[in-house]
Chains A and B, each alone.
Chain A
Amino acid sequence: MNKLLLTAFLLPGAWALAQVPGTMAIHNAKIVPVSGPVIAKGTVVIRNGLIDAVGDNVQVPPEAWVVDAEGMTVYPGLIDALSTVGIPGAGRGGRGGVATPAVPVVEPAPVQRSWGPEDRPQTTSWLLAADEIQADDRRIETVRSSGITTAVTFPTRGIFAGQGSIIDLISGEKGAEMVLVPAAGQYLSLGRGGFGGGGGGGFPSSLMGVIAYIRQIYLDADHYKLVKEAYGRDARGMQRPEYDRALEGVIASKRILLPANRTVEIDRMLRFAAELKQPMILYGARDAYEPAAAELLKRANASVLVSLRWPTPPVRSPDQEDTDTLRVLEERDKAPTAPAVLQQAGVKYALYSDGLDAPRDFQRAVKKAIDNGLPREDALRALTLSAAEIYGVADRVGSIEKGKIANLVLTKGDIFDDHTTIVMVFVDGKKYTPVETAPGGRGPATDEPGNPGGNQ
């Protein structure tokens, strides 16, 4: 009886949510829970936005809206471990670090020149992504069409950019409705790219200046806490402490994210985080394919986010000389093996889109890792349960288990294959149909002709 409405939902191009059924069942599908073995043919029952049951012998409740998923596969919704979706003005989540971003972030109105750490340059540590999210950001639907149901989205401007939030990618009215975890960690970057050292733009103007600044902030934060505590115990006779919102933001962050791509940067940031005594997630990790880098990460028991934006050669005319160094060539050759290397080494890692919004770009990037030695199930885990574990939300998302949030992806074919179609995406139990696509699943890549919207 509900099959009529069901067909309506399956019409391509349909955006409408209409009524959200309280109970749904995805029936006769192949299920890949991630947390357990694959179920060749089974059922997932969704009730009130949560997974109520999953298995090969599950009763379909009579009141449930049934999706006949014969020949299809259900996966947990993918988690983008570092994103900027929903944040206004953010072009792409960055690698940070010392490299010049390809798409420069729009600068705000000119600020006062900074004359030292006390001026708190490039710092908005008190920001929470949850407060900034614009629910009508078009990127939400684009990203969701890749099968991503959950994103850890961050403000990314500046040295202390603010804290990220974990959000479910529902299309709603208010950003607040999307929030799973309001404060997921402080995003740090090592300043604007291209240090001239001349200092015309204020402090800091060099990498060592940025590092010194970060170090000073944490010293100041420790001191700030001591003073506040002492004042709180007995204010009498004590000068009242200053209010420093930059320090408040830093103190409120339970972990930090630091960028590192080259092995020397990975080494440097691991040491730095240990010095600052801050739990740290390292993002970028381009050279993690190097055994020395993987070894360092393993020994430090680090959590790593590996960017899916693999380095690509520039387009050259045939007679133009190839000027890339051996180092750069090796990097381009080996970078997509990084996830496989980390997997082998037993390092805790997840993958992130690094601004690859277009579903085709995202899928191809993941496929490249698979083609370079990462087993499919490990790729999937790196985009689901591992990400959840790194952020401490594995009790809520990241696999198809009873009690977890009903974030699911229904596909015709293996999720990361070139010709797979994503049929449906469930977020918080709400059903969405991906953006209109060309045959073969996910539309053109950004650098293919005929892609008007590109993500350049």
Chain B
Amino acid sequence: MKLLGMLVGCALAAFAAGETVLIQNADLYPVTGAPIKGASLLIQDGKIVDVGPKLVAPKGAMVLDVKGLRVYPGWIDSATELGLEEIGSIRETNDTGELGDFMPQLRALSAVNPDSEHFGVVRVNGITSAVTFPALGGRGGTGGQLISGQAALVHTDGWTWEEMEINRSVAMCLNFPTAGGRGGRGGGLPPDLQEILPGAGAAGNAQRAVLDQIAKLNAFFDDARKYQKAKAANAPDFRRDLKFEAMIPVLERKMPLAVAAARANTIHDAIAFAEKQNVKIVILQPREIAKAGPELKAKNVPIILGRVLALPDSEDAEYDQAFTLPFEAYKAGVKFALGTFTNEFVRDLPYQAATAVAYGLPHDEALKALTINPAQIWGADDLLGSLDKGKIADLMIADGDPMDIRTQIRHLFIKGKEITLTNKQVRLYERYMGRQ
């Protein structure tokens, strides 16, 4: 008996370093398996250490009895500018869209402001992590870039960006050349959709410019490969080049390219480029899924879909064109995740998914698109995306289906730490409720 006590004691001592929380009587929605009613989940040192029908609380653990409530993995928004942009109309608050054609060495992570109000606003609705991009759709900056830098996968809570980091180099942003020009009208139509609008300018010149840019891209990649060889061979006159250093993980297929491409032609060209250069690729905001689907599936190219609540891209298109895109992707067998592509609407991520469900996407698939799919696409599925042992304890506890507007999030955990569900807006509300 004493031995057991000592062992437990030692175990406790070992656990004392991190918080231990036992969530019990919950309806668990692991995503990677069927829901388990009335079960428990044990968090220790920031990780999920056990999941099961009945778990025993270790000594010193905080016990959270959540009878009637549901536990989901935290949402992952696959396309934001969180921490990099504060107020859309004020350039000084915006750190996306740097100058320079080839800037792979730029890193979004260390420009992230951990005290951006946006983090507090979005996490209370269950978004526990997000991919933040150095340049999304040409907002800010010159829009002239070919390679704009490395996107980062971050938690939406942390004292510093270091603490928030999950992966500082989760994707290399590449703006694939299209006739409509890169960088477009800032947050509006993707550039290659602009090109097909009436009055888009002389076709011939535009085509030539596109081919020039693609040639430049290929040349840059070839140079990067030369650098990679020289480095590996320890060439005598080898000199470190930060740009090409940044390209090495891409060439080693550890970091995918993230490329915005709406039309089937552009998608095809981008995939062809990636194949030629033997690198991985993720397509952002594709629109012509019916056309491009077969190729995306055949080549195993995952996609990030933009906001489902969006207008059709032309006057004659069906009114629910954007609403049915996730269903189209699912039918085509393409792996997809959802992203909101702006900061203000990140908190509406679950409702974007809800719309997809209304227009055909099975509910379970919608759930995956916000959890395990992005985890897999961004190479973090050993850490995130489901309620599985060993994963980081990013989870929400809700009083219903979190895609239903009526549902409230009751508890939120990021890296196993419970987050107070307050933010600047909640504080303003409470303050002014008190005004007599």
By a beta-carbon cutoff of 8 Å, the part of chain A in contact with chain B is 314, 316-317, 320-321, 323-327
Q: Are B198 and A323 in contact (CB under 8 A)?
A: yes
Q: Are B203 and A325 in contact (CB under 8 A)?
A: no
By a beta-carbon cutoff of 8 Å, the part of chain B in contact with chain A is 196-198, 203-204, 314-316
Q: Are B196 and A327 in contact (CB under 8 A)?
A: no
**Complex A-B: 17 CB contacts under 8 Å:** A314-B198, A316-B203, A317-B203, A317-B204, A320-B203, A321-B196, A323-B196, A323-B197, A323-B198, A323-B314, A324-B198, A325-B314, A325-B315, A325-B316, A326-B315, A326-B316, A327-B315
8 nearest A-B pairs in the assembled complex, by CB-CB distance: A325-B315, A323-B196, A321-B196, A326-B316, A317-B203, A320-B203, A325-B316, A323-B198
Give the distance in Å from the alpha carbon of A326 to the alpha carbon of B318 in the complex: 13
Give the distance in Å from the alpha carbon of A326 to the alpha carbon of B196 in the complex: 15
Distance between B166 CB and nearest chain A CB, rounded to angstroms = 40
Which residues of chain A are within 8 angstroms of B197 by Cβ–Cβ distance? 323
Tell me whether chain B's interface is mostly helix, strand or loop, or mixed: loop
Of all chain B residues, the one with the shortest Cβ separation from A326 is B316
Number of A-B contacts (CB under 8 A): 17
Distance between B292 CB and nearest chain A CB, rounded to angstroms = 15
Which residues of chain A are within 8 angstroms of B198 by Cβ–Cβ distance? 314, 323-324
> Of residues B197, B204, B315, which shows the largest number of chain A Cβ atoms within 10 Å of its Cβ?
B315
Which residues of chain A are within 8 angstroms of B315 by Cβ–Cβ distance? 325-327
Give the distance in Å from the alpha carbon of A327 to the alpha carbon of B314 in the complex: 12
Distance between B5 CB and nearest chain A CB, rounded to angstroms = 76
Give the distance in Å from the alpha carbon of A447 to the alpha carbon of B151 in the complex: 52
Give the distance in Å from the alpha carbon of A326 to the alpha carbon of B315 in the complex: 8
Distance between B127 CB and nearest chain A CB, rounded to angstroms = 37
Which residues of chain A are within 8 angstroms of B316 by Cβ–Cβ distance? 325-326
Of all chain B residues, the one with the shortest Cβ separation from A319 is B203
Distance between B198 CB and nearest chain A CB, rounded to angstroms = 6
Give the distance in Å from the alpha carbon of A325 to the alpha carbon of B198 in the complex: 10
Which residues of chain B are within 8 angstroms of A314 by Cβ–Cβ distance? 198
Which residues of chain B are within 8 angstroms of A320 by Cβ–Cβ distance? 203
Distance between B379 CB and nearest chain A CB, rounded to angstroms = 36
Q: A323-B196, A323-B198, A324-B198 are in contact. List 14 more A-B contacts (CB 8 A).
A: A314-B198, A316-B203, A317-B203, A317-B204, A320-B203, A321-B196, A323-B197, A323-B314, A325-B314, A325-B315, A325-B316, A326-B315, A326-B316, A327-B315
Distance between A311 CB and nearest chain B CB, rounded to angstroms = 13
Give the distance in Å from the alpha carbon of A254 to the alpha carbon of B198 in the complex: 41
Distance between A192 CB and nearest chain B CB, rounded to angstroms = 17
Distance between B92 CB and nearest chain A CB, rounded to angstroms = 24
Which residues of chain B are within 8 angstroms of A323 by Cβ–Cβ distance? 196-198, 314
Which residues of chain B are within 8 angstroms of A316 by Cβ–Cβ distance? 203
Give the distance in Å from the alpha carbon of A327 to the alpha carbon of B315 in the complex: 9
Give the distance in Å from the alpha carbon of A316 to the alpha carbon of B203 in the complex: 8
Of all chain B residues, the one with the shortest Cβ separation from A316 is B203
Give the distance in Å from the alpha carbon of A315 to the alpha carbon of B115 in the complex: 54
Which residues of chain B are within 8 angstroms of A327 by Cβ–Cβ distance? 315
Of all chain B residues, the one with the shortest Cβ separation from A317 is B203
Give the distance in Å from the alpha carbon of A320 to the alpha carbon of B204 in the complex: 10
Which residues of chain A are within 8 angstroms of B196 by Cβ–Cβ distance? 321, 323
Give the distance in Å from the alpha carbon of A203 to the alpha carbon of B316 in the complex: 35
Of all chain B residues, the one with the shortest Cβ separation from A322 is B196
Give the distance in Å from the alpha carbon of A320 to the alpha carbon of B314 in the complex: 16
Distance between B269 CB and nearest chain A CB, rounded to angstroms = 13
Give the distance in Å from the alpha carbon of A321 to the alpha carbon of B291 in the complex: 15
Which residues of chain A are within 8 angstroms of B314 by Cβ–Cβ distance? 323, 325
Which residues of chain A are within 8 angstroms of B203 by Cβ–Cβ distance? 316-317, 320
Give the distance in Å from the alpha carbon of A321 to the alpha carbon of B314 in the complex: 13
Which residues of chain A are within 8 angstroms of B204 by Cβ–Cβ distance? 317
Which residues of chain B are within 8 angstroms of A321 by Cβ–Cβ distance? 196
Give the distance in Å from the alpha carbon of A71 to the alpha carbon of B198 in the complex: 50
Distance between B35 CB and nearest chain A CB, rounded to angstroms = 46
Of all chain B residues, the one with the shortest Cβ separation from A323 is B196
Give the distance in Å from the alpha carbon of A317 to the alpha carbon of B206 in the complex: 13
Of all chain A residues, the one with the shortest Cβ separation from B195 is A321
Which residues of chain B are within 8 angstroms of A317 by Cβ–Cβ distance? 203-204
Which residues of chain B are within 8 angstroms of A326 by Cβ–Cβ distance? 315-316
Distance between B187 CB and nearest chain A CB, rounded to angstroms = 19
Give the distance in Å from the alpha carbon of A59 to the alpha carbon of B316 in the complex: 66
Distance between B287 CB and nearest chain A CB, rounded to angstroms = 13
Give the distance in Å from the alpha carbon of A325 to the alpha carbon of B204 in the complex: 23
Of all chain B residues, the one with the shortest Cβ separation from A325 is B315
Distance between A195 CB and nearest chain B CB, rounded to angstroms = 16
Of all chain B residues, the one with the shortest Cβ separation from A327 is B315
Distance between A262 CB and nearest chain B CB, rounded to angstroms = 14
Distance between A320 CB and nearest chain B CB, rounded to angstroms = 5
Distance between A98 CB and nearest chain B CB, rounded to angstroms = 16
Distance between B201 CB and nearest chain A CB, rounded to angstroms = 11
Distance between B189 CB and nearest chain A CB, rounded to angstroms = 12
Distance between A416 CB and nearest chain B CB, rounded to angstroms = 32
Give the distance in Å from the alpha carbon of A3 to the alpha carbon of B158 in the complex: 106
Distance between B261 CB and nearest chain A CB, rounded to angstroms = 15
Give the distance in Å from the alpha carbon of A323 to the alpha carbon of B197 in the complex: 6
Distance between B312 CB and nearest chain A CB, rounded to angstroms = 12
Distance between A248 CB and nearest chain B CB, rounded to angstroms = 41
Distance between A330 CB and nearest chain B CB, rounded to angstroms = 11
Distance between B266 CB and nearest chain A CB, rounded to angstroms = 12
Give the distance in Å from the alpha carbon of A325 to the alpha carbon of B197 in the complex: 10
Distance between A314 CB and nearest chain B CB, rounded to angstroms = 8
Give the distance in Å from the alpha carbon of A30 to the alpha carbon of B412 in the complex: 95
Give the distance in Å from the alpha carbon of A327 to the alpha carbon of B197 in the complex: 15
Distance between B267 CB and nearest chain A CB, rounded to angstroms = 15
Give the distance in Å from the alpha carbon of A321 to the alpha carbon of B196 in the complex: 7
Give the distance in Å from the alpha carbon of A324 to the alpha carbon of B197 in the complex: 9
Give the distance in Å from the alpha carbon of A326 to the alpha carbon of B197 in the complex: 14
Give the distance in Å from the alpha carbon of A415 to the alpha carbon of B413 in the complex: 86
Distance between B290 CB and nearest chain A CB, rounded to angstroms = 15
Give the distance in Å from the alpha carbon of A320 to the alpha carbon of B206 in the complex: 12
Give the distance in Å from the alpha carbon of A316 to the alpha carbon of B316 in the complex: 20
Which residues of chain B are within 8 angstroms of A325 by Cβ–Cβ distance? 314-316
Give the distance in Å from the alpha carbon of A359 to the alpha carbon of B263 in the complex: 44
Distance between B407 CB and nearest chain A CB, rounded to angstroms = 41
Distance between A32 CB and nearest chain B CB, rounded to angstroms = 43
Which residues of chain B are within 8 angstroms of A324 by Cβ–Cβ distance? 198
Of all chain B residues, the one with the shortest Cβ separation from A329 is B316
Of all chain B residues, the one with the shortest Cβ separation from A100 is B199
Distance between B207 CB and nearest chain A CB, rounded to angstroms = 9
Give the distance in Å from the alpha carbon of A401 to the alpha carbon of B158 in the complex: 95
Of all chain B residues, the one with the shortest Cβ separation from A314 is B198
> Of residues A317, A323, A324, A327, which shows the largest number of chain B Cβ atoms within 10 Å of its Cβ?
A323
Of all chain B residues, the one with the shortest Cβ separation from A315 is B203
Distance between A93 CB and nearest chain B CB, rounded to angstroms = 24
Give the distance in Å from the alpha carbon of A327 to the alpha carbon of B316 in the complex: 9
Distance between B199 CB and nearest chain A CB, rounded to angstroms = 9
Distance between B288 CB and nearest chain A CB, rounded to angstroms = 11
Of all chain B residues, the one with the shortest Cβ separation from A328 is B198
